[in-house]
Amino acid sequence: MKIGIIICDRYRSCAGGKCFRAMQNREGAFDIYSKDKPLEIVGYTSCGGCPGGNIEYTPEEMIKNGAEAIHFATGLIVGYPPCPNISYFKQFIEDKYKIKTVFGTHPIPQKYFITHNSLGTWESEEWQEMIRPTLVNEDLRRAYD
């Protein structure tokens, strides 16, 4: 299975360590993939900064490299504030490129979970759906702090 990852431009210098660890361990949003089937990253880039300039053409490059799914990095969900365009990005990519998109990569770190719960950031039904793939359990969230 080949995947691409799009990260928030605020974290453009991120080395991807938590994403790659979660991918290897099939944790967070990567738990949908069998451990028996190899996962390969065929693209890793930022959204290009608000309002997401790279979203228009990045998926095409990833698909040319064999991507079968594109993940939006957990940073788009846990940043301050979370990406206001992430739902639109998902719809745009799926409509234009006909490729599966997934909210999240690594499990939400516990420190972000606590902060966003306190702020009420994720109370809506839409956000509950977006965080579900990376919510996991408290012990695993703590392991990603």
Structural domains for the chain: 2-143 (3.40.50)
Q: Quick one: pLDDT at residue 145?
A: 95
Stretch 57-63: mean pLDDT: 97
Q: Quick one: pLDDT at residue 109?
A: 97
Stretch 106-119: mean pLDDT: 97
Question: How far lies 16's CA from each of 8, 13, 87, 120, in Å?
Answer: 12, 9, 22, 27
Stretch 69-91: mean pLDDT: 96
| CA separation for the pair 49, 41 (Å, rounded) | 21
pTM score, whole prediction: 0.95
Stretch 74-95: mean pLDDT: 96
**pLDDT category, 78, cuts 50, 70, 90?**
very high
